[in-house]
Chains A and B, each alone.
Chain A
Amino acid sequence: MIYNNFISKIPNGSLNDQWKNHKSTLKLVSPNNRSKLDIIIIGSGLSGGSAAATLAELGYKIKIFCYQDSPRRAHSVAAQGGINASKNYQGDNDSVDQLFYDTIKGGDYRSRESNVYRLSEISSNIIDQCVAQGVPFARDYSGYLENRSFGGTKVSRTFYAKGQTGQQLLLACYSAMSRQIGKGRIKMYTRHEMLDIVIIDGKARGIIARNLINGEIERHSSHAVIIASGGYGNVFFLSTNAMGSNSTAIWKVHKRGGYFANPCYTQIHPTCIPIHGNYQSKLTLMSESLRNDGRIWVPKKIEDALLIRNGNKIPKDIQEIERDYYLERRYPSFGNLVPRDVASRAAKERCDKGFGVVNNETKEGVFLDFTTYIKQYGKEKTNELGIHNSNEKTIQKLGKKGLKDKYGNLFHMYEKITNENPYETPMKIYPAVHYTMGGIWVDYNLMSTIPGCYVIGEANFSDHGANRLGASALMQGLADGYFIIPYTIADYLSEYIGKNNKKISIKHENFENSEKKVKNKIKKLLLNNGNISPDFFHKKLGNIMWKYVGMSRNENGLLKAIKDIQKLRNNFWKNIYIPGIDGFNSELEKAIRIADFLELGELISMDALKRKESCGSHFREEYKTKEGEALRDDINYKYVSVWEYNKGKPISEEIFHKESLIFNFSKLQFRSYK
């Protein structure tokens, strides 16, 4: 079988027929043959976990790997706000087409039409599936499913379980997966990390993994490999990702021939808790859903901002007329619910001008204020309860209770971290690195340029374009895992039925070579005679990335970033020091991951440099409108940038390809939220 590597395989026909028609052309594997086929899955979050559960349900033999001590810890667990689906339960004229339109527009017309349409179609199934699995979604008093609204949309289509939707969805797919582990169809490898992918005859046939407890290097062979290892936001050091989230799996795929698409699209989430000091190890998100009921502002007068920062004034001292609700001012039709990239840049603009309200090194932070909600909701509630002559105190009390019911755990978390009570004083927030829209290039079947290597969830690139709308990550993870990969992977695996069904021996020389390479690298790191700890390099890299490749970028900055990263990488290999020996060694784990980040960081900068336009999260200062909005260039940049690793050469010599984006059904418009 010959696989032509770099063809997107978008089916013919109109958008709403494509997936249906495509499925009818895909080959099948009969139930009695499925148990003869082995599939390896890397990552056990929403996409990997759901893929494992469903593929095992179908009868395939699965090995799944995660670096945590249990699949229930995957970082999907931390997603707060919710999951989108075009059910139109609220009767606000939502539809598959509307969700498709919002997502395409939200991604600033840099995603694939057919993938996004398929996602919108499947979204409804996901909710039904999860309800059946026992996910306790929020319900209204009549017993039906409740919805709320998120940034970049004008309808309420987000299903949620308080502020812990990701946790509930992950636990449901973890349970489904556990059921299959119990049956013996899935073998779970916890505290294991994939350190290489093994290619035999041009196809993905296995992996090299490291057992993180005893340091042993293991070989595992299979008929196909699915990468579901999540995003690479930790390249910025400070991010909302879990501490262990890393790019090693996708980077190894890239180094072995998997093309990398749109590496520079990094979502900056507007509502994180601002940075406090240089001891900080990570940033914590406050769900975007808070913007439903919170209003964002900074003082109108720069003197007031200064007084607040110095602690000489509190938010209550600033009169309504002296406050600048800048999102409502600039974007009257969407207000506080503009998409994440727009909200992030607007916050940066205010803070750059000196209006920030947080007394940290960078003076960065804005208020997220719930006073209006407390008043409105409290008043409504007193009416409902028939309390006449209600006083201010009762209204406040009921209003705060309403907030607690909706966002209790988020408010609790905020108070823990900042030591401020958000029921009494507005939250302070600032943008931070969150989700990466770029990733391994995949075709419509979610297969990378390496035959037999599939990439799903945040680890691939296809559905969110240059900016992801809120509550869409969970949707994509589950769509890929539950409903897409089971169909498309069968098409590939069907080739292995009959006389082709030869298992690959782990004694094959390519396994040998890959293992040797991995072992040598570990040896080199452990024996290096340096004196600098891994964390130092990670923080340094993060500083470079945030400063020059963060919320706004320009040519000189990016050129500097590339140089600085190269220098830092040299320094790393010269001076890295890892205490201890091979075996359980978290410093070694970190160093292996950082070595990959130090290469990926350069590619991200190269990609940002090449894209001489602004779109979604990628904001080049040279390309903006008079009002400071992102200025897209559809004539020259309506493509996916795709990078091919040039074997044996430095990152700076990667080969550049383009996948032209074809928009047959949506009209490319200037993205306005005014």
Chain B
Amino acid sequence: MKKLLSFVLKIWRQKNNKEKGKFYTYKVYDVSPNSSFLEMLDLLNNQIINNSKKETPIAFDHDCREGICGMCSLYINGRAHGKENLTTTCQLYMRRFYNINTIYIEPWRAKPFPIIKDLIVDRSSFDRIIMSGGFISVNTLGKTIDGNMIPISKENADKAFDSAVCIGCGACVAACKNRSAMLFVAAKISQFILLPQGKIERKQRVLNMVKKMDEEGFGNCTNTKSCEIECPKGISTENISLMNKEYIQSFI
């Protein structure tokens, strides 16, 4: 059995979007190095529940705990999803914190992501961007042609896939000094322009999505690439270049 760990946690707590929040300090004991970051928070919450009837557990978002649903968030020691690359918070393991004593935990901070409670933010602005054009307008009753009638080169299919893997977690926004959502939007735009099915609506799509993104209050890209570094799915900023090109071309 490996040695169990203990940590000092500085956690942002905020009742709701109207009241001010602040950091609270907690100590958590007996953390297995093999447990995930969220399992460590589970443990802390259980310690809170068992120790005092006055304090409420810490609210945080999570669901699949397999790194794919995009529900978990958390700013950990100043980094979105923690300092490890290509990782969501649920796939971050406490063995990585072996030599660290104090951990700061904050919610995503961006105006278009208002805080709901403690570490939970409202990311529905992302959904609204998709509603504005993140789709191919095909009737879903199945009266389409055979899938093999639309051949797609392997290179393009693979590239489209690489763009399509975005899980919509919002780390790109949280990591960006401008609070830009361009990596998120660009990934969807690229996926569809790489596929023949998506080309018909390409102009309208990019115009609508960019407009919506601005309306929601996201900032612009100034090419610092911190989104790319923090993206748990490794989505490249090349997508942003592609989107910019697409955006300009849509006026021609």
Contacts and interface: CB of A to CB of B under 8 A. Distances in A.
Interface of A: 50, 53-54, 57-58, 68-75, 77-78, 87, 89, 125-134, 136-145, 161-162, 164, 167-168, 171, 173-176, 178-179, 181-182, 188, 190, 213, 242-244, 276-277, 279-282, 284-285, 412-413, 416-417, 419, 482-483, 486, 533, 535, 577, 579-580, 584-587
Contacts of B49: 533, 577, 579, 587
Interface stretch (B18-26, B38-46, B243-251): B38-46
A58 B140 CA distance: 9
Nearest to B134: A175
A178 B71 contact: no
A168 B56 CA distance: 37
Contact of A77 (B36, B61, B69): B69
Given A143-B152, A277-B34, A587-B57, A213 B42 contact: no
B59 to A, nearest CB: 6
A133 B66 contact: no
B168 A136 contact: no
Contacts of A161: 161, 164
Given A134-B192, A134-B197, A243-B63, A69 B122 contact: yes
A579 B55 contact: yes
Interface string B45-64: 01011100101110101111
Contact of A164 (B71, B86, B116, B165): B165
B132 interface: yes
B70 A73 contact: yes
A618 to B, nearest CB: 27
Interface stretch (B123-131, B174-182, B223-231): B123-131
Contact of B32 (A178, A279, A416): A279
A99 B161 CA distance: 28
A482 B130 contact: no
A179 B141 contact: no
A-B residue pairs, 9 tightest by C-beta? A143-B151, A175-B135, A182-B131, A131-B147, A132-B144, A139-B157, A136-B160, A136-B161, A580-B56
Contact of B136 (A132, A276, A277, A417): A132
Contacts of B148: 89, 144-145
A174 B188 CA distance: 13
Contacts of A584: 59, 116-117, 120
B95 interface: yes
Contacts of B164: 136, 161, 168, 171
Contacts, number: 224
Given A131-B147, A533-B49, A586-B59, A139 B131 contact: no
Contacts of A130: 147
B183 to A, nearest CB: 16
A244 B91 CA distance: 17
Interface in B157-210: 157-158, 160-161, 164-165, 167-168, 191-192, 194-195, 197-198
Contacts of A482: 140-142
Given A72-B168, A137-B147, A412-B86, 16 more contacts: A50-B140, A54-B141, A69-B61, A70-B168, A73-B69, A77-B69, A128-B145, A134-B191, A136-B191, A141-B154, A162-B161, A174-B130, A178-B130, A279-B34, A281-B39, A416-B87
A388 B101 CA distance: 54
A46 to B, nearest CB: 12
B209 to A, nearest CB: 11
A134 B136 contact: yes
B93 interface: yes
Given A50-B140, A133-B138, A73 B63 contact: yes
A242 B65 contact: yes
Given A131-B150, A131-B197, A586-B57, A175 B64 contact: no
B93 A419 contact: yes
B67 interface: yes
Given A482-B142, A579-B53, A139 B91 contact: no
Nearest to B121: A69
B64 A70 contact: no
A637 B48 CA distance: 50
Contacts of B31: 279
B9 interface: no
Contacts of A535: 42, 46
Contacts of A168: 161, 164
A289 to B, nearest CB: 16
Nearest to A188: B127
B18 to A, nearest CB: 13
B35 interface: yes
B222 interface: no
Given A77-B64, A161-B161, A167-B165, A72 B70 contact: yes
Interface string B109-120: 000000011001
A136 B42 CA distance: 36
26 contacts: A57-B139, A57-B140, A72-B130, A73-B64, A73-B70, A74-B69, A75-B63, A77-B68, A128-B147, A129-B138, A132-B138, A136-B158, A136-B191, A138-B157, A138-B161, A139-B153, A142-B151, A162-B161, A178-B127, A181-B127, A188-B127, A279-B34, A416-B93, A419-B93, A533-B46, A579-B48
B234 to A, nearest CB: 10
A281 B91 contact: no
Nearest to B53: A579
A36 B67 CA distance: 41
B89 to A, nearest CB: 12
B99 interface: no
A178 B131 CA distance: 5
Given A412-B86, A579-B49, A181 B131 contact: yes
A54 B142 CA distance: 10
Contacts of B126: 70
Nearest to A481: B140
A96 to B, nearest CB: 15
Contacts of B132: 182
B71 to A, nearest CB: 5
Nearest to B49: A533
A244 B38 CA distance: 14
Contacts of B36: 281
Nearest to A176: B140
B197 A132 contact: yes
A53 B68 CA distance: 23
Contacts of B168: 70, 72
B47 to A, nearest CB: 10
Contact of B152 (A69, A129, A139, A281): A139
Contacts of B68: 77-78, 164, 167
A78 B64 contact: yes
Nearest to A144: B148
A129 B140 contact: yes
A412 to B, nearest CB: 7
A171 B69 CA distance: 11
Contact of B198 (A87, A89, A134, A140): A134
Contacts of A50: 140
Contacts of A68: 63, 69, 71
